[in-house]
Amino acid sequence: MSASLVLDRVSRFYPDGTHAVRSLSLSVPPGRIVTMLGPSGSGKTTTLKMIAGFDQPNSGSIFLAGRDISCIPPHARNIGMVFQTYALFPHMTVFENVAFPLRMRRRSRREIEAAVHEALALVHLDGVASRLPRQLSGGQQQRVALARAIVFRPPLLLMDEPLGALDRQLRKSVQSELKRLQRQLDLTIVYVTHDQEEAMFLSDEIAIVQNGAIVQCGPPEALYDAPASMFVAGFLGESNFIGGILAEAAADQALVTLPGGRQLQGKSAAPMLAGQAVSIMIRPEKLQVHAASSTIETGINLLHGRIDLVNFLGGAIEYEIDIDAARLTARVYLRASATAFAIGDPVVLQMAPEDCLVFAAP
């Protein structure tokens, strides 16, 4: 039922020569959710439109289940799509909206009746079949759009920021629903969003898109733990950056001198030259905060600082800490053993060398 999707060096440029998408390759295995995550204007929606057939690539090919679909018009591609604005037909009832793709496929009346009600039941909307879209809430409209996109069991489902218009609470529950549906129906989904939390929550794989190209693609955990560039590190999850000069580099080990003269050990993904400007990236939860008086003083990778702000997050506390070279954010999950600090407290920050990722400074 669900099919694989392969984009092979797809490019789209405009008459003035600017690229919306440049030589983008992406492979989506059947039954997976792959998210294209990137800032607005990065080319992710253009890519989605080319997969759907609303836009044509200038070069490259698109394969669905191994078949080149680049030259097939949208209505013959058999791909489901959920639009950011839902694009529900305002003059049709919910039932007729969901029945539309089946009518276009000339299914029998009984078949349509059964399939529509099944699809509406899947999204918990069976009670509103006879209403018009404008009589529904935003969340309900979103689910009608989803039901309409899956009712004909397309081998591929495209979703263009489908939850963007929903409030945070609703978004969370729809995300869970979507994950459940995806597993239940074994859907292949290409999802587009600029919301990194949503991407991590939903995806089997995330493709980070920047300036029309994929800069890194992989499972969310891999991208979070080992971002390939400062852009990916900054875009996916929260991160601290400390600037410095590379003192020594050997294999993937790096020693960085900070402006104050202190040195930190870290890990580098790409080979770099001693003496070049670098940035150390560390996630807030990887920073360990100790009281300044503690006995940890003798360890490696220590930084002295002072608590500048304390933000209570519920399950965790976030400390904003001033060190000589920068301002860092540390997140401490609340446990019985955790010491609480107050604004102005001197602290020592400890970080494991494998958590400090060193990138060439831009």
**Given 5, 33, 64, 79, the residue binding other proteins (CB under 8 A):** 79
- Shorter beta-carbon distance to other proteins: residue 71 or 76: 76
Per-residue contact flags (x/-) with other proteins for residues 109 to 148, judged by CB under 8 A: ---------------------------------------x
Binding flag, residue 155, other proteins (CB under 8 A): no
The total of other beta-carbon atoms located within 10 Å of residue 9's CB is: 12
User: Which residue's CB is nearer to other proteins, number 52 or number 249?
Assistant: 52
Token code pair at residue 26: 């992406």
Name the strands in the sheet holding 205-210, side by side, starting at the edge strand that comes first in the sequence.
Answer: 80-82, 157-160, 189-193, 33-37, 205-210, 213-218
Residues in the chain: 362
What's the maximum distance between 2 C-alpha atoms anywhere in the chain?
A: 78
**Is there binding between residue 356 and other proteins (CB under 8 A)?**
no
Q: How far apart are CA 243 and CA 256, in angstroms?
A: 9
User: In this structure, are residues 37 and 217 in contact, taking their beta carbons and an 8 Å threshold?
Assistant: no
Q: How many helices (H) and strands (E) does the chain have?
A: 8, 20
Residue 220 CA to residue 203 CA, distance in Å, equals 7
Residue 52 interacts with other proteins (CB under 8 A)?
A: yes
**Could you say whether residue 104 binds other proteins (CB under 8 A)?**
yes
Binding status of residue 235 toward other proteins by CB under 8 A: no
- Half-sphere exposure at residue 248, Cβ-oriented, CA atoms within 13 angstroms: 6
Q: In terms of CB distance, is 138 or 271 closer to other proteins? A: 138
User: What is the smallest separation between the CB atom of 66 and other proteins, expressed in angstroms?
Assistant: 21
Q: Report the residue number, 79 or 214, with the smaller CB distance to other proteins.
A: 79
Q: Which stretch binds other proteins (CB under 8 A): 28-36, 50-58, 273-281, 344-352?
A: 50-58
Contacts of 99 (CB under 8 A, 6+ apart): 112, 116, 151
Q: Which stretch binds other proteins (CB under 8 A): 23-31, 72-80, 263-271, 353-361?
A: 72-80
Q: Which of 38, 43, 53, 305 binds other proteins (CB under 8 A)?
A: 53
Residue ranges binding other proteins (CB under 8 A): 52-54, 73-81, 83, 85, 87, 89-92, 100-101, 104-105, 148-149, 152
